[in-house]
A and B are shown apart, each in its own frame.
Chain A
Amino acid sequence: MDNQMCVEFDSKSENEAFARIVAAAFVAKADPTLEEIDDIKTVVSEAVTNAIIHGYGEKGDQKVFMECSLNGKKIQISIMDKGVGIDNIEEARKPLYTTKPDVHRAGMGFTFMETLMDTLEIFSKPGEGTTVRMTKNIEG
């Protein structure tokens, strides 16, 4: 393990920007291209937004956790919430599937995570919360 970090922050939407900036700074050591930095920022933004709006239903007083590790050129990012969890993970992963069209969600979050990263795993249980784990090899 070359480097590892973990942050915990309030489930407030202003922290979407905080989380993606932290992740972008963390991955900088692997000499990513600008495109790769954008990829990391986008997927962190997606996963943290999901934790805040779906996991915690926009209640701002809960905690979101993000862990990043760098092994050589491979970055792993995990985002965790202790919110409502996901009933049907397979369905949730489908493009355009959203349970919140009322707050202008497009249902593209998991699709972006899947296309911009090399791997995406979703661990979730109703009532217990959700963790998404993503990895990507930084080509630089």
Chain B
Amino acid sequence: MKQTEYKVDGRTLCVLLESEIDHHHVKDIIDEIRRKGNMNFSKNIVFDFSKVNFMDSSAIGLMMEAYKRTSCVGGNVLVKNISRRGYRAFQMAGILKFISVEDSNSD
């Protein structure tokens, strides 16, 4: 299973998520976002969902945590390449008011 990859681009932290997003994986991803974010003064977080083929409600907790981190420094959260199913889950949880979504897949 591929690990989540992180890239620092100026004040933006880019997170290329691994294939399965559940509570087990989210714990580690949040720890790493905190560590990298604190070290690099990250203001914005971009999540790339292109490799994700499973997610449960832990992904919503992850987005809420990212929103909390970025909003207090005036930054924002951007989600890329999320599946239709994932988009619907975000919609249901009402988090689309806090995060921006780009290129929603049509699968």
Contacts and interface: CB of A to CB of B under 8 A. Distances in A.
Interface of A: 13-14, 16-17, 20, 35, 38, 41-42, 45-46, 49, 52-53, 95-96, 103-106, 108-109, 111-112, 115
Given A38-B54, A115-B92, A17 B60 contact: no
B23 A108 contact: no
Name which of A35, A45, A104 has the most chain B CB atoms within 10 A of its CB: A104
A16 B27 CA distance: 13
A106 B24 contact: no
Contacts of B24: 13-14, 16-17
Contacts of B65: 104
Contacts of A16: 22-24
Contacts, number: 69
Main secondary structure of the interface of B (DSSP, over half): helix
A59 to B, nearest CB: 15
Main secondary structure of the interface of A (DSSP, over half): helix
A103 B26 CA distance: 10
Contacts of A42: 54-56
Query: Could you say which interface size class chain B belongs to?
Result: 20 to 34
A100 B58 CA distance: 12
B48 interface: no
Interface of B: 20, 22-24, 26-27, 30, 54-58, 60-62, 64-65, 85, 89, 92-94
B22 to A, nearest CB: 5
Given A38-B85, A41-B54, A49 B61 contact: no
A104 B56 contact: no
B56 A112 contact: yes
